[in-house]
Each structure stands twice: as structure tokens, then as C-alpha cells.
Homo-oligomer: A and B are copies of this chain.
Amino acid sequence: MASVNKVILVGNLGKDPEVRHLEGGVAVARFPIATSETFKDKNGEKQERTEWHNIVVWRGLAEVAEKYLKKGQSVYIEGKIRTNNYQDKEGIQRYSTEIVADNMTMLGGRTDAGANNSNPETAGSSSGGRAEAPAFEGEPDDLPF
């Protein structure tokens, strides 16, 4: 069946990423990012609405997140929507929506944000200019085109 589930976000991390290393060495990182929009309400007053997105990244991207992303940073995120359901402690069905990212690019963000890395400015470029794990690329780049 023909379907597409694609999300593109540019926003700021609300917290440092939380990283777990699973058995087998697979890493997973989670962090919230905020997007905001301003609008005028009925009285013409400017209002702001902030949306929070729970981002999940796996493997190489999780390691990139662990090393280079920090609260306040601005990131470009590309991924898909996933809604998990679970039973809460009262046994009631609950839903939780997250964005599983498969592409991620650091955009800088708050200039004093600082990163876990001592030199945040070069952090991205040391991994190839783009803050993403080459293994996650949709297309290998070493072929003749």
C-alpha cells in the first residue's frame, strides 16, 4: 500500500538528550524539542503557542545526539510519527506520540548553549560537516553519480 509518513521539524531542545545503550551496543537517545508559532487572537493581541515533540533517535544518530546536542540547541529533524499505546497503572489504554528521526542536522541555536563537546563549533563538521551518521543516509555517496 502506498503510504508516506514524514515529519520535518526545526526547533530547540528542551533538555539534554537521555541516552541508553541497549544490550548489543545499540544506542537510543530521547529528547524534547519545541516549535513555536505566533498568531493574533480575537483581540488582535499577539499570542504564542509552543508545541513539544518527543524525539527518538537510534544507533549512529543517538551517538551524535549524545555527543553534540544539548538543551537550547536548534536542530533540524526529519523522521516519522509513531504513536505507542500502553496500559497505564489503572489498566487504561493510553497513547504517546513520538517522532522517530532518521535524519538530524545541528543548526546552532542559543549561542551560549555549549555542548558536551569542548568545541561545539567544530563538532558537527568533525563528523563530516553534517551532524548525522553516514550509516543512516538514504543513499551511499561513494558511487559513480
Give chain A's interface residues, CB within 8 Å of chain B.
1-12, 22, 26, 28, 34-42, 44, 46, 48, 51-53, 56, 58-59, 74, 76, 78, 80-83, 90, 94-97, 100, 102-103, 105-108, 111, 124-125, 128-131, 134, 136-139, 141-145
Assess whether B128 is in contact with A51, with CB atoms less than 8 Å apart: no
Given A8-B8, A10-B76, A81-B53, A2 contacting B130 (CB threshold 8 A): yes
- Pull 16 A–B residue pairs with CB atoms less than 8 Å apart, ordered by A: A1-B124, A3-B10, A4-B76, A5-B11, A5-B37, A6-B7, A6-B9, A6-B78, A26-B144, A36-B130, A37-B129, A42-B142, A46-B128, A59-B143, A94-B94, A111-B111
Given A83-B52, A97-B97, A145-B58, A105 contacting B35 (CB threshold 8 A): no
Closest-CB distance, A101 to chain B (whole angstroms): 9
Given A2-B130, A3-B130, A105-B10, A141 contacting B37 (CB threshold 8 A): yes
Q: List, in ascending order, chain B residues with CB within 8 A of A94's CB.
A: 94
Q: List, in ascending order, chain B residues with CB within 8 A of A102's CB.
A: 138-139
* Minimum-distance CB pairs A-B, first 4: A39-B141, A102-B138, A4-B10, A3-B35
